[in-house]
Amino acid sequence: MRESLDYLRESSAPPRWHRVVLAFLLAATVSACGGGGGGPAPPNQVGFGSATLSWMPPTENADGSVLTDLVGYKVYYGNEPGNYPMSLQIDNPGIATYVVENLTPNTYYFVVTAINSRDIESEYSNEASKQIF
């Protein structure tokens, strides 16, 4: 009887094979900032900047099996560590670099998740941050 209860407990647990493992580190660099025209922005204009994010695409699922159904990524970001109220979706699994544009001066914190064909999202990557001037 104990064996069958253990089996029921195990079989009622959510399957682990569908979770995507992010096997990458997120890196962010400021690619541009300022008001354009080669010089600093005039005093009454706010400069906009961008942050370039890059990562290595994941290659396996949480159970160690080969990841064959990656469909894209989601980038989350905000102005406080661990708080990401803004997001954007990348519907191309072949992309491993993305430029987040039109960032006003502030410090931004970024994480990325991977999404598979069943629309299951991985856990957050490590956090990267950049200050936009």
Structure tokens that stand for 9 in this block: 């407990």
Instruction: Give a yes or no: residue 57 inside a domain.
Output: yes
The arithmetic mean of pLDDT across residues 53-69, rounded, is 87
Average pLDDT, the chain: 74
The arithmetic mean of pLDDT across residues 45-68, rounded, is 83
What pLDDT, in 10s, does the model give residues 66-109?
A: 889 999 999 999 999 999 999 999 999 999 999 999 999 999 99
Instruction: Give a yes or no: residue 108 inside a domain.
Output: yes
Instruction: Give a yes or no: residue 68 inside a domain.
Output: yes
Q: Where are the alpha helices (DSSP H) in the chain?
A: 2-12
pLDDT of 69:
92
Instruction: Give a yes or no: residue 128 inside a domain.
Output: yes
Q: What DSSP character marks residue 39?
A: S
Q: Tell me, what CATH number does 30's domain have?
A: 2.60.40.10
Give the range of the structural domain holding residue 122, as residue numbers without chain letter. 18-132
Instruction: Give a yes or no: residue 31 inside a domain.
Output: yes
Q: Which of 31-40, 42-51, 81-90 has the lowest mean pLDDT?
A: 31-40
Q: Which carries the bigger pLDDT value, residue 90 or residue 27?
A: 90
Instruction: Give a yes or no: residue 7 inside a domain.
Output: no
- Which region, left, alpha or beta, applies to residue 69 given φ > 0 means left and ψ of -120 to 50 means alpha? alpha
Instruction: Give a yes or no: residue 50 inside a domain.
Output: yes
pLDDT of 36:
40
Which of 21-25, 46-50, 116-120 has the highest mean predicted lDDT (pLDDT)? 116-120
Does 22 score more than 60 pLDDT?
no
Instruction: Give a yes or no: residue 44 inside a domain.
Output: yes
The arithmetic mean of pLDDT across residues 5-15, rounded, is 37
CA pair distance 123, 114, nearest whole angstrom: 8
Number of domains within the chain? 1
